[in-house]
Amino acid sequence: MKLITLVNELLDYGLQKNILDEIDFDYSANLLIDLFQEKNFRRIATTPRSIDEILEDLACCAYEKGIIESDDYITYDNFKAKTADMIIDRPSGVIKKFYQLYQINPHQATDYLYKLSKGSNYIQTKRIKQNIIWHHQTEYGTIELTINLSKPEKDPKLIALQKLNPVSQYPQCRLCKENQGYRGHLNYDSRSNMRIIPLKLAGETWYFQYSPYSYFDEHSIVLNEHHIPMIVNRDTFRKLLDFLDLFPEYFVGSNAGLPIVGGSILNHEHYQAGRYHFPIEKAKEIYIGKVGAVDVSRLIWPLSTIRIKSADKEGIIDFAAKALDYWMRYENPALSLINNATNPHHTLTPIARKEKSIYVFDLILRSNYTNALYPDGVFHPHPELYHIKKENIGLIEAMGMGILPGRLKKEFELIAKYLSGEEAILADKSLEKHHHWIEKIKPKFSLEQDVDLFILNQAGKVFSQVLMDAGVFKMDHAGESAFIKFANALYYK
């Protein structure tokens, strides 16, 4: 397709999706022709396709014209983001519109930003749709699993190019507010088309944005304006509830602030939020009692969790802070719950949501203790499960959604062939790490079964064990009774 037609198609797309204002049409058209080193623009009526198809064709044109030097996916992605940036509002315009809609109600404001984030291809809906998603029944409820395929695999040519490209120190990390509008380079994904919204949490300036990976509906990130480390303390509880006061339809949670039990980014304080109900919400509650205006329960869930509910914001913050303090000092050497006053091992993964006017906190107890037997973490997936999940069990996983590495798609396909009779495939190098598992699951498989479903089901069992490994009070007799004592002590304190 001719360049001028594609430029018109992108502009028509912007108008149709309501992300390009009619008033800005000529301005955006001129930015676009300049980007493609053209001097003339001509209006042609088009019927726009999806944003991904339009941007892909425009990136091909740019490559053919020598405007971009390489056709690797990062250079293409960064160019596509820059192109999309030319049809959307500047940050100040987006913030103004967001808060105008917020005056009507928060739902309209988040809806606007979410649609803009998808419409501008900042959230790459087409790629995210490739993820493999399934559910798995366990004794404690149904968990959700995703094989993450939204990031294309790097080919050797790209890896070689990246080695030649210097690593920059700006922005300081992927979460810093300075990412907004950043064009990116071979070692850094562009954030040209990202828009973030300032807000106040406990008197501090924070920013709200959608996650480009979108693991669940309206998956968002809330980030501190400063590049400061993750921490879970009394202020965290207040900030989470302040967020809920602004966006009562969302849940919000923080990763723990310690290595092993924290998420992948520990150096920038941030939360994750979204319009989504995770499996942990449906976990069975065992009611303990009422402390002041706070109802206290514990959950039947592989990661030991205290649930507290109250309409009293100060009361629930006080209780959460008390629970954190008590857990940070708690020890039970028989269960490897060993603490260290100077270098604490215990912390919480707190998750908050609102049920009408009631605040609900799920406080997940975490420990990053290591010993000679488990140098990567006693309460971390144990080594025999690394073939499926080796990464930290962060907030999303702790709530019952396993995000599994993209390599598993190919590896599961090979295992399926092996189970269906192609014996020689077992020699494939990528299956080495799965050998002990294949040996274990093979006798359970018969050729009448659907082999793909069988493998996903077995992988679900592995992930369920991953969650059990991360739990501090195990779901056995010794663990249960210690957890009951811990929870009761909190209640009577």
Q: Which residues contact 387 (CB under 8 A, 6 or more apart)?
A: 433, 434, 436, 437
CB of 226 to Zn ion, least distance (A): 8
CB of 199 to Zn ion, least distance (A): 17
Q: Which stretch binds Zn ion (CB under 5 A): 24-32, 56-64, 261-269, 297-305?
A: 261-269
Q: Which stretch binds Zn ion (CB under 5 A): 106-114, 169-177, 212-220, 302-310?
A: 169-177
CB of 227 to Zn ion, least distance (A): 4
Between CA 198 and CA 206 the distance in angstroms is 6
CB of 90 to Zn ion, least distance (A): 22
Between CA 46 and CA 231 the distance in angstroms is 51
Note whether 242 and 202 are within 8 A (CB): yes
Between CA 244 and CA 267 the distance in angstroms is 24
Q: Check binding of 173 to Zn ion (CB under 5 A).
A: yes
CA 30 to each of CA 36, 67, 297: distance values in angstroms, whole numbers, following the listed order:
10, 17, 60
Which residue of 147, 176, 197, 393 would you call a contact of Zn ion, by CB under 5 A? 176
Site string for Zn ion, 188-227 (x = CB under 5 A): ---------------------------------------x
Taking the C-alpha atoms of 409, 411, 412 and 417 in order, what is their torsion angle to the nearest 10 degrees? 130
Nearest to 253 by CA among 394, 319, 348, 349: 349
Given phi > 0 = left and psi -120 to 50 = alpha, else beta, which region is 387?
alpha
| Residue placing its CB nearer to Zn ion in the complex, 106 or 171 | 171
Q: Check binding of 175 to Zn ion (CB under 5 A).
A: yes
CB of 303 to Zn ion, least distance (A): 27
Do the bridges between strand 204-210 and strand 197-201 make them parallel or antiparallel, or are there none, so unpaired? antiparallel
Q: How many residues bind Zn ion (CB under 5 A)?
A: 6
Q: Check binding of 268 to Zn ion (CB under 5 A).
A: yes
23 DSSP assignment: G
| Residue placing its CB nearer to Zn ion in the complex, 1 or 173 | 173
| Residue placing its CB nearer to Zn ion in the complex, 219 or 268 | 268
CB of 178 to Zn ion, least distance (A): 8
| Residue placing its CB nearer to Zn ion in the complex, 267 or 420 | 267
Q: Check binding of 229 to Zn ion (CB under 5 A).
A: no
CB of 167 to Zn ion, least distance (A): 15
For the record, the structure tokens of 351 come out as 């998750």
For residue 272, the surrounding DSSP H or E stretch is strand 270-274
Q: Check binding of 228 to Zn ion (CB under 5 A).
A: no
**Would you tell me which residues interact with Zn ion (CB under 5 A)?**
172-173, 175-176, 227, 268
